[in-house]
Every structure is written in C-alpha cells, then in structure tokens.
Amino acid sequence: MFRSLVRPAVGGRPGTIGLIGLGLVIGVLSVRALYAQQPAAQAAPAPNPYIFAGNAAMTLNFIKAEKAADFEMVIGKLKEALAKSDKPERKQQAAGWKFFKALEPGPSGAVIYVSVIDPVAKGADYTVSKILQEAFPTEVQALYKSYSDAYVSQNLINLSLLTDMK
C-alpha cells in the first residue's frame, strides 16, 4: 500500500502554507505599488561627441583605400561649407581645423586622416553632416553617404594642453 506525503488542507498545520503565500502576494503588490508611485526615469540623451570638451581635439579617421578620393571630396565640401557660412562659430571652427593625411598606411591598408582642431570653438558642433546640411541641403544625403561609406573607423580625442614649447 502506498502512502501519500501530501496532507490534506483540513488535517495539516492550519494556515502555514496560506500565510507564506499571502506574505508573498503582499510583498509583490507592495513592490509594484512602490514602483507605480515613482515617475519613470528617462534616460538622459548621450552627449554629442562632436561638441569637444577640451581646448583642442583630434580625430583619427581610418578610411578604406578605395574610398579615399570620396572622403577627400567630402572634406573639400566641408571646407567650402565652413567658408560659405555666415555663422560666427563656423568661422571659428574653420580657423582652427586642419586635416592631415598620414604618409604611412593604416591597418589593413586603410588610409589615415588626422583632423586637428586647435583651438576648439567652445560649444560649437563639429558634426560634419550638420555643417554640410547648412550649406548643401539638397546634396547632403549623397555627400554623407559617400563620407560614411568611406569609413573603417574613427577615434575622437579631446585634448587638454600640458605645456607649450614656445
């Protein structure tokens, strides 16, 4: 004959399982009520990495060798856009922004372009697509496609002056 290990609710210890279950339900409802009372935390938007925090900045642009001419064409349009702008911050940006092309090849044959910004125009947005949009609103999509398709990767570096050797 088999014996059941399950006790009937009527003959077992009165309320032990019921009290544990009731405690769990109250705990879950309390936590839910607490979260319902708190306003939902909104994620802060990520800061724009093209508004540089340092006194100077540098970007390392690793460009596909077969797309180097496209990249250089877009940089030429960027220079033109800065020159055409009536905005004072764009004039400040142009005054301190230079592009260099490395003589050495980069990883996997990439062409390395170094953008040096010294001084940084404080608070100015250096996002290439925004600058191009201002000067070339009808061309910006094609220009940005050429620009973005050329990239292998990019590194942004905010710089703080350690010493001037003058």
Tell me, what's the pLDDT at 166?
A: 92
User: CA torsion 119→123→125→126, rounded to 10°?
Assistant: 10
- Which of the two residues, 48 and 8, has the higher pLDDT score? 48
CA distance 128 to 57: 15
Tell whether 50 is covered by a domain. Answer: no
The pLDDT assigned to 45 comes to 86
Please determine, for residue 31, whether its predicted confidence score (pLDDT) is greater than 60: no
Task: Please give the Cα distance from 50 to 127 (Å, whole number).
Answer: 5
129 lies in which domain range?
56-159
Q: Residue 15 falls within a domain, yes or no?
A: no
Q: Mind listing the pLDDT tens digit for each residue in 135-165? A: 999 999 999 999 999 999 999 999 999 999 9
Residue 3 has pLDDT above 90, yes or no: no
Contact 95, 151 (CB under 8 A): no
What mean pLDDT is predicted for residues 37-45? 66
* Overall number of domains in the chain: 1
Q: Classify residue 84: in a domain, yes or no.
A: yes
pLDDT tens-place string over residues 47-102? 999 999 999 999 999 999 999 999 999 999 999 999 999 999 999 999 999 999 99
pLDDT at 42: 74
Gap between the Cα atoms of 75 and 73, Å rounded: 5
